[in-house]
């Protein structure tokens, strides 16, 4: 059933409580599909770096070939945040006046540890991986962090898309207001003499650059949201152990995924006790 589901999707997420075997199940699924002739990208978003431990390799943040048909990568949260912040800083340096760069650097230093920054950075990186990966691979398999982190991540595309849309609308309103003010009898030739034509051109270029960045982010988050909520393309597999706490956490995660319009394709009950292996395991099997 699991392999049949994987063959019919472009994106497959594996999630659940920590320690239930998400990495083992996701890696086994990816490897089975690769052995069957599919091109597969296996991505870990878990800071524990279990993929590297499992395969006995040092795995980085860019796809590396593990075997025929299977590429793997690990998204390190700390490195992802660092690169994300550097990209934003470079964009702001390019767009803002030179005399404001020290203020930009100060703001970015304070922002790197802000609540939600790690999730936002990881989400943007996932969006990039999906955007590029669906063109190159038959299937992208995500081995995710424990339930709480993953549940928050699944609702972020909708939130980030709406937030970016709001910024764009406010930017458009500000631009329209500025145009109205400029049209209320102001002497453009006098304005050029006071502020300089080059300064006006720089402002226009800056505004255009800001709009381009916001539109690019909106399109990226919207595309990711649409893919995650499309059951034809994406499924989420919840991995659990037959124990009370993992079962309770699975129920909670299932409801959160449903509320985020993410299709749950199935459950993998891992670590089942075998039958006919003695009294102790038989008692445990009854509990399970």
Asked if residue 97 belongs to a domain, the reply is yes
Q: State yes or no: pLDDT of 24 exceeds 50.
A: yes
Percentage of residues in the chain with pLDDT exceeding 90? 34
73 in any annotated domain: yes
Q: How far apart (Å, rounded) are the C-alpha atoms in residues 20 and 241?
A: 6
Which of 66-70, 184-188, 261-265 comes out lowest in average pLDDT? 184-188
Token couple for 99:
């005399």
Higher pLDDT, 105 or 20: 20
The least confident of 46-55, 72-81, 269-278 is: 269-278
In the prediction, which pLDDT does 260 show?
Answer: 86
Question: Quick check: is 190 in a domain?
Answer: no
| Segments forming the whole domain that contains residue 34 | 2-161+229-287
Q: How far apart are the first and last CA of the chain?
A: 22
| Confidence tier at 190 by pLDDT (50, 70, 90) | very low
How many CA within 13 A on the CB side of residue 35?
Answer: 7
Residue 176 lies in a domain: no
Q: Is residue 58 scored above 70 in pLDDT? A: yes
Task: Count up the domains in the chain and report the number.
Answer: 1
Does 274 map to a domain? yes
Name the helix (H) or strand (E) containing 51.
helix 50-55
- Asked if residue 245 belongs to a domain, the reply is yes
The CATH number of the domain holding residue 243 is: 3.40.50.300
Residue 68 phi, psi dihedral angles, 5° rounding: -55, 120
Radius of gyration of the chain (CA): 24
- Read off the pTM: 0.76
Q: What is the mean pLDDT of the chain?
A: 80
Residues 224-256 pLDDT 10s: 889 999 999 999 999 999 888 889 999 999 999
């Amino acid at each position: 059933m699991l392999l049949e589901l994987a063959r019919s999707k472009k994106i497959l997420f594996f999630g659940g409580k920590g320690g239930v075997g998400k990495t083992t199940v996701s890696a086994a699924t990816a490897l089975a599909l690769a052995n069957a002739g599919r091109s597969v990208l296996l991505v870990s978003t878990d800071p524990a770096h279990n993929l590297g431990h499992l395969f006995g390799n040092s795995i980085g943040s860019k796809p590396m070939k593990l075997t025929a048909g299977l590429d793997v990568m690990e998204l390190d949260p700390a490195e992802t945040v660092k690169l994300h912040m550097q990209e934003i800083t470079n964009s702001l340096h390019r767009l803002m006046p030179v005399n404001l760069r020290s203020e930009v650097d100060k703001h970015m230093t304070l922002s790197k540890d802000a609540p939600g920054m790690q999730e936002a950075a990881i989400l943007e990186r996932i969006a990039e991986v999906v955007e590029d990966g669906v063109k190159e691979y038959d299937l992208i398999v995500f081995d995710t962090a424990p339930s709480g982190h993953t549940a928050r991540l699944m609702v972020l595309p909708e939130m980030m898309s709406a937030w970016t849309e709001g910024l764009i609308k406010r930017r458009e309103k500000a631009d329209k207001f500025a145009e109205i003010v400029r049209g209320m009898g102001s002497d453009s030739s006098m304005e050029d003499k006071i502020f300089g034509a080059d300064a006006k051109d720089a402002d226009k270029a800056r505004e255009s650059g800001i709009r381009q960045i916001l539109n690019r982010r909106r399109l990226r988050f919207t595309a990711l949201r649409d893919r995650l909520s499309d059951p034809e393309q994406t499924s989420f597999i919840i991995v659990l152990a037959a124990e009370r706490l993992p079962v309770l956490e699975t129920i909670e995660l299932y409801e959160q995924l449903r509320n985020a319009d993410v299709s749950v394709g199935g459950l993998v009950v891992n670590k089942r006790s075998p039958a006919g292996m003695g009294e102790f395991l038989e008692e445990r099997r009854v509990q399970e």
